[in-house]
Amino acid sequence: MVAVFRELVLPDDAEAVIQFYDRHGFGFAHAAGFPLTAAAFQEMMRENGLLHYDLIEDGGQIVGVNGFFPIDAAMAARPYEIRNNHFLMAATARGGMLTGRAFEQAFAWLVDHGVRLTSLRVRPQNKVALSAYLRAGFRAVEHSRPAGDGFLDLTSVLPGVLGAAQAVTADPELGIELPNINWVHLKSDKGVRGSGFDDGVERLPDGRVAVSYQVAPRGMVSQFTVDAANGRIRRISLDGVDYTDLFEKVMNYQPDPPPVSIDLPGFELGSYTVYIDSDGGLIVDHVDHLGPVLVDCFPDHLGLLAAYRLPPRRLVETRERPDGWATRDASGTVRLVKVTEQGLEICCRLPVGTTAPGRLAVRPWVGLRTGAYSVAAPGEATRTGYLQTGLWPPLLPGYEACGDADWSVPLDGAQQAWTDPDGGLGVRIDWRGAGRLRCEGQARAAGPVLRYRVRLLQRRPRLELTAALPQPGRPGPAWSGGGRGQRRLASADGAGQVVLSSAGLLSWTALDQVVWPDATSKKPFHCLSHLPATLWPSLDSDRTDVARGPEWAEADHRVVFTTTDGSDDPGDPTQARWSLRGNADLTELELTTVAGPEWAGLDFSLNLRPPPELERVELLDGRGSWITLEATDATARPTGLWWSFTRWLRFDLPAGRVTIAPVAGEHPEILVRAPAAGFLFALQSRVRDDGPSVSRWRVTLTPWADQD
């Protein structure tokens, strides 16, 4: 294969590129069931701020592409960083020298432009791509689990290493000649352990995260330790000799910008609190709601996406006003926020004299997870439904423009509404001025001004926890040991049984009917490498994180099982545990989790894989009505992964109807995920910082013979 690398030219190359994507089924839009058009591709490149995009051709045909952007998936690059996306290679071009050349071209461009860090997102089930990224020095420096959308975030600090080595070699006064170093020479000083996602990653005593590499070009053993936040080399040795001071002198690293703090009083609107953060973002909290109710980052003025998931660092000046704030950034873009009894009046303006259309964009993010969402606009049919992120509203990280044809409405007069009857909260946004509103939330003005009103609603919440499981009225089930380290909880008559392993619950039988068969599998399930059990515990990162959402978890060895719940005796506060008990015939189970303040701020989850033949579930919508959600929806796009939150869940199995509801806990919610492989549930509650946190869940089987 004789490959040629050249720069993308738009609009000339757009059609050929999308044909390449279509031919190989590349890109998140394809996975989600959206068409990728030439117009959408060009808009994607524009609003993500395309910096560099390689086309790799063989015989005039595209066999690979690779792009670099300041924004990807609504997340902005940090200082010294560029985000890598659209690194796609045809099957015939993988696994050989061409992938290596693509990395070399990419890293050379990054070094030439002073970039120290590059980050990308990959689906763990894409083993070919994941393996290539790990070999090229990409690591999971913050989270080793996939985010809510199923993508794993990886960062490479290698550009900073290569740039420093190049600078030292180029200095004639030093007299140091380093062999050419590239990603091919990378080896970890700790060896590959586990998945390799965090190979060489360590948390330093000062709290910062570093990545260590070992390279051995032409026999010279070099070890680097690099700060994962800014790409600075913290330690370097060449054949055992420490060269850290020398490299720092040559590189002349400038101090990181100091953290920006802001001390402006917020406003109270009933039980809501409204305030401004240091980057000019608008935040709304509610005393009873887990996580922010609304996050509205400072508007974008360059025609790019409003990077709401991870906003860029901005130099802003915020002035307090009697009824709100006025914030201005270095470009002269202004946002005025007026706080009224009804909510917020917001006006965004581009710098005076700006005439280019479509430059101003905002993306208010609403954190209500349960309930309904609707979008209405004059002359358009109202779109409404239960919140199913990925299905409604659609979610196309990095490919947002692919939904514009079917999932956007005129901006002027449009209204978005979120209602959560369970929590008694609601948010409504009314838009004014010409432009377009995407159903997922981004608004782009046609002119230099964008106005909108935010109404914060509150009613009496409908959330009521269920009663605790009653004590058995006849001889209750008893625990016994089993083979291969298993435990068994069996009813007195032998017709009911729960089998557990060290990983979690394997199977559940009641009334001689198998309710949950053993779902343990060594095969991948969506972005999970395997299923450790049918139900397994995990301690997860904050489900309300705007950038990540609810993460995916496999077996978590920090959590142990006990045959008693331990809720009256917290014991070792560092030991998280879970337990199970049942009624006499094991048609009702109570699952209990206990975690000490050591794990404060995390979510304690019980992950459940129901039988694979389950096609639909029912969620209680907060108004007392059960709504049915299909695992796959053939009538709407996208058809890939979606997820929802609820507080009550039920579904039908051959043995009967299973209902899951919270009994006790901090902010209990049930996460319902539906990738193409079928449903996966997570029973989640928050761990507090003021003592042991106890949550209880009731799982009830109602046999078909007992149905009304």
Q: Report the range of poorest mean pLDDT among 116-120, 418-422, 539-543.
A: 418-422
Q: What percent of the chain has pLDDT over 70?
A: 91
Mean of pLDDT values over 638-653:
88
Task: Tell me which residue has tokens 């352990």.
Answer: 193
pLDDT category, 567, cuts 50, 70, 90? very low
For residue 241, with 0-12 CB atoms within 10 Å meaning exposed, 13-18 middle and 19 or more buried, which class applies? exposed
Q: Which residue has the higher pLDDT, 554 or 206?
A: 554
Distance CA(505)–CA(520), nearest Å, equals: 9
Rounded to whole angstroms, the Cα distance separating 139 from 155 reads: 5
Task: Name the pLDDT band for 570 (thresholds 50, 70, 90).
Answer: very low
Rama region for 239: left / alpha / beta (φ>0; ψ in -120 to 50; rest): left
Q: CA dist 404 to 53, 249, 316, 356, 392, Å?
A: 23, 50, 31, 21, 14
Bond preceding residue 675 cis, omega within 30 of 0: no
206 pLDDT more than 80? yes
Residue range 383-397, pLDDT digits in tens? 999 999 988 998 888
Find the mean pLDDT for residues 147-173. 88
Task: Tell me 547's DSSP state.
Answer: T
Q: How far is CA 663 from CA 311, 469, 470, 593, in A?
A: 38, 9, 12, 12
Give the predicted TM-score (pTM) of the model.
Answer: 0.92
pLDDT at residue 191 greater than cutoff 60: no
Of the two residues 359 and 485, the one the predictor is more confident about is: 359
Would you say residue 36 has pLDDT above 50? yes
- Say whether pLDDT at 171 is over 90: no
pLDDT of residue 1: 61
Instruction: Say what the pLDDT of residue 192 is.
Output: 34
Q: Is the pLDDT of residue 65 over 50?
A: yes
DSSP classification of residue 106: H
388 or 467, which is more confident?
388
- CA distances (Å), 665 to each of 162, 583, 591, 684, in order? 50, 21, 12, 9
Distance CA 604, CA 643 (A): 18
- Look up residue 282 and give its amino acid: L
Instruction: Tell me how far apart the alpha carbons of residues 385 and 636 are, in angstroms, rounded to a whole number.
Output: 12
pLDDT, tens only, 286-313: 999 999 999 999 999 999 999 999 999 8
**Calpha distance 669→369 (Å, rounded):** 9
pLDDT tens digit string along 18-28? Answer: 999 988 888 77
Q: Is the pLDDT of residue 198 over 90?
A: no
Across the chain, mean pLDDT equals 88
Q: What is residue 353's predicted lDDT score, i.e. its pLDDT?
A: 81
pLDDT of residue 189: 41
User: How far is residue 116 from each of residues 159, 209, 230, 356, 603, measured CA to CA in Å?
Assistant: 5, 15, 7, 33, 34
| Phi, psi at 103, each rounded to 5° | -65, -45
Helix (H, G, I), strand (E, B) or coil at 451: strand
C-alpha atoms less than 13 angstroms from C-alpha of 375 in its C-beta half-sphere: 21
* pLDDT tens by residue, 405-451: 889 999 999 999 999 988 889 999 999 999 999 999 999 999 999 99
Number of Cβ within 10 Å of residue 424's Cβ equals 19
Residue 260 vs residue 19, higher pLDDT: 19
573 band by pLDDT with thresholds 50, 70 and 90: low
Tell me which residue of 7, 8, 16, 25 sits closest to 90, measured CA to CA.
Answer: 25
pLDDT band for position 637 (cuts 50, 70, 90): low
* Structure token digits, residue 398: 């990095």
Residue 156: pLDDT above 50? Answer: yes
Percent of the chain with pLDDT over 90: 63
pLDDT digits over 178-187, tens only? Answer: 656 655 555 4
Q: What is the mean pLDDT of residues 493-517?
A: 95
Which span out of 314-318, 606-610, 618-622 was modeled with the highest average pLDDT?
606-610
Strands 425-432 and 415-420: antiparallel
